[in-house]
Amino acid sequence: MKKIAILISGSGSNLEAIAKACFEQRIDGQIKCVISNVPSAFGIQRAKSFGLNAVIVDHSLFKTRDEFDNEIDHVLSKYKIDIVVLAGFMRILGKKITKKYYGKMINLHPSLLPLYPGLDTHAKVLQNRDKNHGISIHYVSSELDAGPIIAQGCISVNKNDTKNDLEKRIHSIEHKLFPKIINDICNEKIYLEDNVVKFSMDKSMQKIYEYYEE
Ligand code: GAR
């Protein structure tokens, strides 16, 4: 069974969705540790409520990005992690660690990449009066939010939507899609080969996995 690490910085609602899916055996993998770079993150409490190992690696205690990344790597190695899941992890990881885990580290981003890498995606969508918004799940490369895309989930933006409305609906689509993709990666139905995402579950699915709001 694949050993999973989940990296968080905040509320951890995605961590909870993933942990629930593991306990209900909808994910064929085991969460070995949850790492937070923010000591006060609510996600740590969620991790503990599932009986998971919660490790704090407080970025503010490290002089350089490299030293912080090395400590993260140290924890991942200690737990012999196969798959690293960034679920609301708000620190940029450097070249060395992203290279080491290339093909084994995935990120959840709240936009339809390549649109809106970086922060404040909901605000940007509203500002630009976009009709659609969504989430992307991608392999992590050394470039921010730019690695090969595995899956995207799409929502429609309504006229009077606020940032909170979008966040709520984005979360609901994340909680459904992310555990499913993690399970497919655990079962090696999705993998990275020569920088290309491969889907071995279904002949019709040789492109980005897409999911639309019901
Ligand atoms: C999620 O919506 C995720 O897409 C986003 O942070 C939120 C975390 O929520 N990630 C990023 O912005 C990464 N750049 P959660 O802590 O409740 O899972």
Domain that holds residue 52: 2-212
Residue with the smallest CA separation from ligand 1 atom 1 is 88
Is the minimum distance from the CB of 153 to ligand 1 under 6 angstroms?
no
**What's the 110 CA to ligand 1 centre distance in angstroms?**
7
Domain at 171, CATH number: 3.40.50.170
Please check whether residue 97 is in contact with residue 7, taking contact to mean a CB–CB distance below 8 angstroms.
no
List of the chain residues with pLDDT < 70: 201-214
Phi, psi of 22 (to 5 degrees): -65, -45
Domain count, the chain: 1
Is the minimum distance from the CB of 69 to ligand 1 under 6 angstroms?
no
109 part of the active site: yes
- Rounded to a whole number of angstroms, the CA Rg of the chain reads 17
**What's the 109 CA to ligand 1 centre distance in angstroms?**
7
User: Cβ neighbours of residue 49 under 8 Å, at least 6 residues apart?
Assistant: none
**What's the 135 CA to ligand 1 centre distance in angstroms?**
10
How do residues 56-78 score in pLDDT, each as one tens digit? 999 999 999 999 999 999 999 99
- pLDDT score for 202: 57
- pLDDT score for 209: 53
Is the minimum distance from the CB of 94 to ligand 1 under 6 angstroms?
no
What predicted TM-score, i.e. pTM, was given to this entire model?
Answer: 0.95
Is the minimum distance from the CB of 170 to ligand 1 under 6 angstroms?
yes
Taking the CA of residue 42 as reference, the ligand 1 atom at the shortest distance is: 16
What would the two tokens of residue 196 be?
Answer: 């290309």
